[in-house]
Amino acid sequence: MTVNKWLIFGLLLASMPAPAQACGPDALGVSREIAVGGAPQIGLKTYPRTLSLADHEVVLTFDDGPSPATRKVLDALAAQCAKATFFLIGRNAQAMPELVRREIAEGHTVGSHSWSHPSKSLRALDLADGIAEIERGDKAVAAASGGTASHFFRFPGFGDSPALLEAAAMRKMPVFGTDLWASDWNPMTSERELNLLMTRLRKAGRGMILLHDIHRQTADMIPSLLRTLHAEGFKLVHLVPGPDAPELRAAPDGWTSETEAFYRKMFGELARPTPRPQQSTN
């Protein structure tokens, strides 16, 4: 081959997706998938029902990306053959489509998290503006992914409302709250973030976990988190789009919405969204 041919050959190799990671028993991996379709509302911080996870089963979700720190998160997940769900801000997806495509190529699930993540939350906007944020975010993520993203949706700051939930349901968008978080919007060391999250997870025993792949402290924590989950016998469940709503588990008696309590404190006049009667908890 001439030098030019070698150069072209090299460029072709570099543009190919990385080969699938060979993971043995030392890796966390994925233990099973749950297909999510329909328009359920899932996650105990906000809704009185969540995924039907067994003891020691966890789901990893990341919000607010893609961002430069996303690369490190993806590297750490790939090293453990672990899969996650990414809820992307539409304008970030539009700005960094290569990272959206990488998430998809590496087997993760991609959903949306509004177009611009308004600081006031969608419920504080005019209804038409709130719906436009949902639609534009969903379209931007779909475009950046080449049409392969899911229609999974998570409200910025969990700031939903009955009308916005209805709008999402009409568009067949499953709405995700979460069960656990690492409070990684607060600056802290990766070690402290890991300890905080694992303490909460050991107490809960299972659950959907919310992290943010815009924070370096979180990206730095992921390798240790995945190793710790594996060492402590936690199993990773991967969410994928499906035709129907999955089996859900009802919240324990005495459940209250933690995120709603926050919004009541912030904006006392906004009432708790009424749970939709057609929601199944079986």
Which chain residues interact with Zn ion by CB under 5 A?
63-64, 156
Which CB sits closer to Zn ion, 40 or 156?
156
Tokens coding 106: 């590496």
Reference 215, options 187, 179, 191, 192; nearest CA is: 187
d(CA 230, CA 274): 38
CB of residue 279 vs Zn ion: minimum separation in angstroms? 24
Indicate if 212 belongs to the active site. yes
- Active-site position among 63, 179, 184, 213: 63
Cβ-based burial of 222 (10 A; exposed 0-12, middle 13-18, buried ≥19): buried
User: Given the DSSP bridges, would you call strands 109-112 and 175-176 parallel, antiparallel or unpaired?
Assistant: unpaired
**Cβ contact 103:86 at 8 Å:** yes
DSSP SS3 for 171: coil
CB of residue 274 vs Zn ion: minimum separation in angstroms? 24
Which CB sits closer to Zn ion, 86 or 234?
86
Which CB sits closer to Zn ion, 153 or 234?
153
CB of residue 26 vs Zn ion: minimum separation in angstroms? 33
- For 213, phi then psi, to 5°, come to -85, 20
**Cβ contact 159:121 at 8 Å:** yes
d(CA 123, CA 282): 29
Which CB sits closer to Zn ion, 102 or 117?
117
131-165 CB burial, b ≥16 within 10 A, e <16: bebbbbbbbbbbebbeebbbbbbbbbbbbbbeebb
Which CB sits closer to Zn ion, 137 or 156?
156
d(CA 50, CA 258): 14
CB of residue 69 vs Zn ion: minimum separation in angstroms? 14
CB of residue 64 vs Zn ion: minimum separation in angstroms? 4
Indicate if 129 belongs to the active site. no
CB of residue 253 vs Zn ion: minimum separation in angstroms? 30
DSSP SS3 for 129: helix
Which CB sits closer to Zn ion, 61 or 190?
61
Residue in the structure block whose two tokens are 């694992």: 198
Residue in the structure block whose two tokens are 């992290």: 211
- Active-site position among 108, 212, 230, 238: 212
Closest residue to Zn ion, based on beta-carbon distance: 63
Catalytic residues: 63, 212
